[in-house]
Amino acid sequence: MSRLFGILKVTLVLALDFVGIYSLFQDAYIAGIAVGVIAIYVLFGGYIALLKEGAVNSKKLPTYQRNKLEVAKAQLVADVKSDCGANISGLKLYLVPGDDEMNATAYGFNCVSVTRATFDNADPMTLNAVLAHEVSHTLNFDAEFNRAVFSSVTLLVGMLSVMSFAVMAVIFVVFLLLSCFRSWLGVMAFQGTTKAVGGLFSLLQRGVVMIYRSLLSLASRHAEYRSDKFSCKLGYGLQLSHFLAIAEPDSQRHITLTEAMYRSHPPTPKRIARLERQLLEQKSTEIAKR
């Protein structure tokens, strides 16, 4: 069910892209090619991020590291199968050797990475807790959805830039035909008009980006809470809560684009509080069943 909903939300974004591009060019062929390119990025863009971060596939790691990740994967495959019937045997695990920050990332297309700091500091149960959280992201196509929305916003901002250039070109032609450049007053009027138009389109672009960031933040918070709950359902709530407590990132550091797209998390104290409530609810349910 999670996968179906994930596919539907990504498909909806791509369909909106197609409608938007078609309405602009009135050409289904152009719209189809553009959306096809976006779809390729949506599906395989995670591999680009993996390359940028220098992630190493578990199959290429030394024996100890490979075995630790494979044992965690085997346990998760069984846990997820038992809990919701989903088959995650195609999960591909990666290690980011140069990252000293305790974290993990789901890139979509069944690809999940853990940083070296996470790998070195997490015991087997905690490692499973972290990976279970990321598995929820893969099941719900969260990374693909984020890339689809990012592509849509980038396309919209680009279209606004083209429209701004086109409007300014029309203004130039109008002023030229009206012979307004023969005096300083005409030149100043032209400059003032183009600045006003440029400012308007710049304001629109900033508005689009601001709305995108706000919506992405809301979607990411929902996805993080849902993934925490999933890990807790599999029996790793206590371990995930402990991991979050010791792995809180430095809030003063500026995040990268990759982190903004794949690791946009709500405040750690709120996540821990929710996990604690879920653990209490689970314990109450177990006691009631006895």
Question: Residue 196 has which token pair?
Answer: 């006003």
The distance from CA 199 to its chain's CA centroid, rounded to whole angstroms, is 30
Measured CA to CA, the distance from residue 61 to residue 97 in angstroms comes to 10
Query: What's the pLDDT at 78?
Result: 95
- Domain definitions of the chain by residue range: 2-145+215-289
**Nearest alpha-carbon partner for 128 in 202, 82, 78:** 78
Contact between 117 and 99 (Cβ < 8 Å)? yes
Range of weakest confidence among 34-48, 130-144, 236-250: 236-250
Residue 73 pLDDT greater than 60, yes or no = yes
* DSSP of 143-196: HHHHHHHHHHHHHHHHHHHHHHHHHHHHHHHHHHHTTGGGSHHHHHHHHHHHHH
Helix H or strand E encompassing 113:
strand 111-115
Tokens of residue 265, six digits: 């998390």
Share of the chain above pLDDT 90, in %: 50
- Mean pLDDT score, 255-262: 55
Token code pair at residue 163: 């429209």
45 pLDDT more than 60 = yes
Q: Give every strand in the sheet of 92-96, ordered side by side.
A: 56-57, 92-96, 111-115, 104-108
Residue corresponding to tokens 């959805």: 145
Tell me: pLDDT of 20 over 80: yes
Task: Report if pTM > 0.95.
Answer: no
Contact 46, 72 (CB under 8 A): no
Residue whose tokens read 């099941």: 139
d(CA 288, CA 290): 6
> Is residue 76 over pLDDT 80?
yes
Q: Per the structure block, which two tokens stand in for 183?
A: 């005096």
> At 246, which amino acid appears?
I
Instruction: Copy the structure tokens of residue 204.
Output: 């629109």
| pLDDT of 251 over the 50 cut | no
Are 110 and 141 in contact, with CB atoms under 8 Å apart?
no
d(CA 130, CA 114): 9
pLDDT tens by residue, 153-202:
888 888 888 888 888 888 888 887 777 777 778 778 888 888 888 888 88
Contacts for 13 with CB less than 8 Å, ≥ 6 apart: 145, 148, 149, 152
pLDDT grade, residue 1 (50/70/90)? low
Alpha-carbon span 151 to 44, nearest angstrom: 13
Q: Name the 3-class secondary structure at 56.
A: strand
Separation of alpha carbons 82 and 174, rounded Å: 70
Q: Is the pLDDT of residue 243 over 70?
A: yes
